[in-house]
């Protein structure tokens, strides 16, 4: 019996994982719901039968690991309260803990399971894809994923689902948050991820929370990726973030200005220097705001622009201007 279950482990595990949320409805969090913003979504059961299904899935997952002789994973989940957290609509932290427990004893089961999940993610309902995305996001933090040769497979799967016609705003947001865990220093994956992130910034229908996530991921990309992989995207990134400096959402504006500050480190190109200088006046105008965070980000961006382009006199003038405002 145990041998049969072990052989079918990827199929059984996948079925139970996606069934955790089969009866849930997801939506993006409101601006005032801080806890849901941290999670990236709000969730609720469609019916009492959906709650019962969730409970049976958790019991079955626990029994599955014990049956195949991986009680260490089950014990770890018990120790950190993982099984309990998989229950109800707060399942996401439970999925994170499950991924951590499985990577701690990574082996052939995890290798086959990831392959199977990748093959299934485009064949299931969007609500069922949510736990897979969260699971993949946590796996990207684990060194064993690279050791098993699975990193690129997981990244490509997340990017495909991100651009999938049937993916919801919630699953798209979670995919971006999962991709933030990438080590962007690897050249072979940097180009494709950067290309996708930049293309996502051009959609005016994006929610504020999604735009912030894309900008945050892009900033990490800019900081970690080899410079030669980022330079071809500089002008496009700059043109995409410029309209966001004056966004209605203070948080979006701040993320866009922080992205500009990081772009300014590439100011050695004369063409890009001209592009950066074109933003000086708008940045000075944005200093006339009541938002302390926006002012601080404008200051940082201005200082980086003049520092990177070697404009000592202009930098001094800006410093005096900022001192007069009390924000230097």
For the cut 70, the answer to whether the pLDDT of residue 322 exceeds it is: no
Q: What is residue 76's predicted lDDT score, i.e. its pLDDT?
A: 94
For the cut 60, the answer to whether the pLDDT of residue 277 exceeds it is: yes
Comparing C-alpha atoms, which of 241, 244, 238 is closest to residue 265? 238
Q: What is residue 151's predicted lDDT score, i.e. its pLDDT?
A: 94
Comparing C-alpha atoms, which of 195, 85, 105, 177 is closest to residue 140? 177
CB 114 within 8 A of CB 150: yes
**Prediction pTM value:** 0.92
β pairing state of 42-45 and 24-27: antiparallel
Q: What is residue 309's three-state secondary structure?
A: helix
Instruction: Label residue 271 exposed, middle or buried (CB < 10 Å: 0-12, 13-18, 19+).
Output: exposed
Q: Cβ atoms within 10 A of the Cβ of 112, count?
A: 15
For the cut 70, the answer to whether the pLDDT of residue 129 exceeds it is: yes
Give the C-alpha separation, 190 to 5, whole Å: 38
Comparing C-alpha atoms, which of 226, 227, 222 is closest to residue 240? 222
Helix axes 126-139, 151-162, angle to 10 degrees: 150
Tokens in use for 113?
């399971």
Q: Which has the higher per-residue pLDDT, 146 or 287?
A: 146
Comparing C-alpha atoms, which of 83, 98, 82 is closest to residue 139? 98
pLDDT in tens, 204-224: 889 999 999 999 999 999 999
What number is the average pLDDT over the span 9-32? Answer: 93
């Amino acid at each position: 019996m145990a041998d049969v279950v072990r052989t079918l482990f990827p199929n059984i595990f996948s079925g139970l994982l996606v069934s955790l949320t089969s009866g849930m409805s997801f939506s993006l969090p409101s601006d005032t719901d801080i806890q849901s913003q941290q999670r990236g979504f709000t969730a609720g059961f469609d019916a009492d039968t959906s709650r019962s299904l969730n409970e049976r899935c958790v019991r079955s997952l626990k029994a599955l690991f014990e049956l195949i002789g991986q009680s260490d994973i089950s014990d770890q989940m018990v120790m950190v309260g993982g099984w309990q957290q998989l229950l109800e609509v707060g399942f996401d932290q439970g999925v994170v803990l499950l991924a951590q427990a499985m990577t701690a004893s990574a082996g052939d089961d995890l290798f086959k399971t990831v392959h199977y999940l990748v093959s299934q993610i485009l064949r299931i309902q969007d609500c069922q894809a949510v736990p897979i995305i969260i699971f993949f996001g946590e796996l990207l933090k684990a060194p064993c994923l690279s050791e098993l040769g699975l990193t690129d497979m997981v990244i490509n799967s997340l990017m495909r689902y991100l651009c999938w016609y049937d993916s919801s705003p919630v699953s798209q947001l979670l995919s971006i948050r999962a991709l933030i865990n990438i080590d962007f220093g690897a050249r072979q994956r940097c180009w494709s991820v950067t290309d996708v992130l930049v293309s996502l910034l051009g959609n005016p229908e994006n929610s504020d929370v999604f735009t912030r996530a894309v900008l945050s991921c892009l900033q990490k990309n800019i900081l970690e990726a080899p410079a030669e992989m980022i330079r071809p995207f500089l002008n496009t990134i700059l043109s995409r973030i410029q309209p966001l400096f004056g966004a209605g959402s203070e948080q979006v504006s701040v993320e866009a200005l922080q992205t500009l500050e990081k772009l300014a480190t590439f100011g050695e190109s004369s063409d890009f220097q001209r592009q950066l200088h074109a933003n000086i006046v708008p940045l000075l105008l944005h200093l006339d705001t009541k938002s302390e965070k926006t002012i601080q980000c404008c200051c940082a961006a201005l200082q980086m622009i003049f520092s990177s382009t070697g404009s000592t006199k202009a930098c001094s003038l800006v410093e005096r201007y900022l001192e007069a405002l009390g924000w230097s």
